[in-house]
A and B are shown apart, each in its own frame.
Chain A
Amino acid sequence: MRAFGGTVSGLMQKRSVRLAAIIAVLAAGGALASTWRPAIAPIASPEPASFPAQVVARGAVLAKLGDCAVCHTADGGRPLAGARPLATPFGTLYSDNLTPDPETGIGQWSAAAFRRAMKDGVARDGSHLYPALPYEHFTHVADADLDALYAYLMTRAPVHQAAPANRLIPPLGFRPLLAGWKLLFLHHGPVPVDPARSAQWNRGAYLVEGLGHCGGCHTPRNLAGGEEGWHAYAGGLAEGWHAPALDAANPAARRWTPDALYTYLRTGISPDHSAAAGPMGPVTESLSTVPDADVRAIATYIAARMAGHETGDGTPRPIDAPARAAAVAPAGAVLFAGACAGCHGSGAPMLAQGRPQLGLASSLTDPDPTSASQAVLRGIEPPVAGRGPKMPPFADSLTDAQVAEVLAYVRARYTNLPAWTGLAQRVRAARKESAQP
């Protein structure tokens, strides 16, 4: 082979490469310049008494609807003081301190700086924030609501606590790159009002698309970590769990009605479906405290998004075919009898308490076995106020192969759906995921 650039055409190629390089550098420079955002002048922390109590109370509700404290509180840490590690495909981020501490929190932030952070993803000092803060949703929130949130946060007790440094894959530590991400994925403007729909539906749309940021988990993301808008609510990943589809592809064995969704979101469990597990637990915990009308609105909107959802072949639900399952997965049948049947077997006391049967659990009808794997490995914590279903974790008592056998058995016993493929590998991947920070 000839060395590169040894001919006339090669020389021209070299020149055009140089030209392209110069253009690229200029473009990058221009792009960088356009990413620059000014700092907003620091302010002296406002007196808590300067915020009307009514506005603060409304902000408290909005903070619950937005689940702020879930990401912005470390395990065992002070509420909203940040420093919670958030595992992403791009490395680990630590959430910021949202208490009004002047040095480590948002004590020096004006209302305008807070609004800009929520709508544009830019910190008070002008640096770009990572989209782990779902500003592509928060940008749709009305200014009056952002101001109420601000009032709520600024009236919390300040906590002096700096977040540890992020650990990201290079070069993602270089924040100006985020300007390019925003160009692609941050779309400003309010949630459009649909006059053909009810006020309740529109209120639900505003909450779900904005503060609630449901799409953050339930919409798949592309390689750049942006939500795939054209696949909205087609199901996505959440902290190692699979957030099920909330569109017509929703896997529920029984159709979700607005009433069933309301009960689920409010209490963490629906007798016609199953219990909130994994990252959905804290969401229902938050929604157990907000006004009834808001949960009704969210339920109405989500149920409408699932319109067209079919529950399959018309077999009465729930399905329970123990003989078929024992033939498909004999080893799983033995493990199920010893490990699971005490709660989930026919006639178990748990079922007599009105708890849903496994045949109604979306994690078993989901085409993706990830959440079912996680439920077995990590168990389920009572989602609301420490009450409700508590499933023990089996990560230390069952091997990956054994979990796969149990899952093959329950899939065959409680659904008419095809067996999950590559189960042992999927369980191994789920276990690896749960070992992250």
Chain B
Amino acid sequence: MTTTLTVNGTTHTVDATPDTPLLYVLRDDLGLNGAKYGCGLGQCGACTVQLDGKAVFSCVTPLAAVGDRSVRTVEGLGTIDRMSALQQAFCDEQAAQCGYCIAGMIMRAQALLDANPHPDDAQIRAHMQTNLCRCGTHMRILRAIHRVADAPTAGAGR
């Protein structure tokens, strides 16, 4: 069964049953491996992507739920040569240790920055609460987000 969906501005047609989690479609059908499989239960946040600009757990978002809403993954933010402001901040703060949670962290943080370019620390912490990092680099992740949030120019990235 084929379904059409828009990811990072490009329309794709995939052959997948409508109850397939979006995460599997992104990774297995579209080769977008940024979002990770962590728990598969919407508990850890490693699979976080954006749906119409809101951060969602792609492991518990069925393909049927996506419809004509636009999906955005970490691959849609920037490239290795031209990183987005937030990606650059994560690099500058060396926020990744094993890196497994980072794509999800970036996509959740970017959703906040897009809605509110200058969130305060409490807002950042509250927003990021759903995403876990087992290496314990939370303080670096927070610093990376602050780099963008506290910058005088709007942090909305791209």
User: Which chain A residues have a beta carbon within 8 Å of chain B's beta carbons?
Assistant: 76, 331, 334-335, 337-340, 342-343, 350, 390-392, 394, 396-399, 402
Tell me, in angstroms, the Cα distance from A335 to B59 when the chains sit together: 12
Given A338-B20, A339-B62, A392-B130, 6 extra CB contacts under 8 A = A335-B65, A338-B63, A342-B60, A390-B43, A392-B41, A399-B65
Question: A391 to B59, alpha carbons, bound, how many Å?
Answer: 14
Asked if B19 is at the interface of the complex by the 8 Å CB criterion, the answer is yes
Interface residues in B1-49 by Cβ distance below 8 A to A read: 18-21, 40-43
Q: Write 29 A-B pairs (CB below 8 A) sorted by A numbering.
A: A331-B64, A334-B18, A334-B62, A334-B64, A335-B65, A337-B62, A338-B18, A338-B19, A338-B20, A338-B21, A338-B65, A339-B60, A339-B61, A342-B40, A342-B60, A343-B41, A350-B41, A391-B42, A392-B43, A392-B60, A396-B51, A396-B55, A396-B56, A397-B57, A397-B60, A397-B61, A397-B65, A398-B65, A399-B67
Residue of B nearest to A396 (CB): B54
A397/B21 in contact, CB under 8 A: no
The answer to whether A342 touches B65 (Cβ under 8 A) is: no
Of A339, A391, A398, A399, most buried by chain B (CB within 10 Å of CB) is A339
Q: Which of A76, A331, A337, A392 has the most CB of B within 10 A?
A: A392
Q: With A334-B19, A334-B62, A337-B19 given, is the CB distance from A392 to B42 under 8 Å?
A: yes
Closest residue of chain B to A403 (Cβ to Cβ) is B65
Interface of B is mostly: mixed
| Assembly CA distance A41 to B40 (angstroms) | 61
Please give the distance in Å from A404's CB to the nearest CB on chain B.
13
A338-B62, A338-B64, A342-B41 are contacts. A397–B20 as well, Cβ < 8 Å?
no
Identity of the chain A residue whose Cβ is nearest the Cβ of B24 in the assembled complex: A338
B98 interface residue (CB < 8 Å to A): no
Categorize the interface residue count of chain B. 20 to 34
Contact of B122 with A by CB under 8 A: yes
When A and B form their complex, what is the total count of cross-chain residue pairs whose Cβ atoms lie within 8 Å? 59
Knowing A335-B64, A335-B65, A397-B60 are in contact, say whether A76-B122 is a contact too (CB < 8 A): yes
CA distance A239 to B54 in the complex (A): 24
Q: Which residues of A contact B43 (CB under 8 A)?
A: 390, 392
Kindly list chain B residues whose C-beta atoms are within 8 Å of the C-beta of A339. 60-62, 65
> Residues of B contacting A338 with CB < 8 Å?
18-21, 60-65
Closest to B44 in A: A392
Within 8 A of A (CB), among B77-132: 122, 126, 130
Interface centre among B19, B20, B122 (most CB of A within 10 A): B19
Asked if B64 contacts A392 (CB within 8 A), the reply is no
Given A342-B40, A343-B41, A397-B51 contact (CB < 8 Å): yes
Q: Chain B residues near A342 (CB, 8 Å)? A: 40-42, 59-60
Q: Using Cβ atoms and an 8 Å threshold, which residues of chain A touch B18? A: 334, 338
What residue in chain B is nearest A395 (Cβ atoms)? B54
Q: Chain A residues with Cβ under 8 A from B126's Cβ?
A: 76
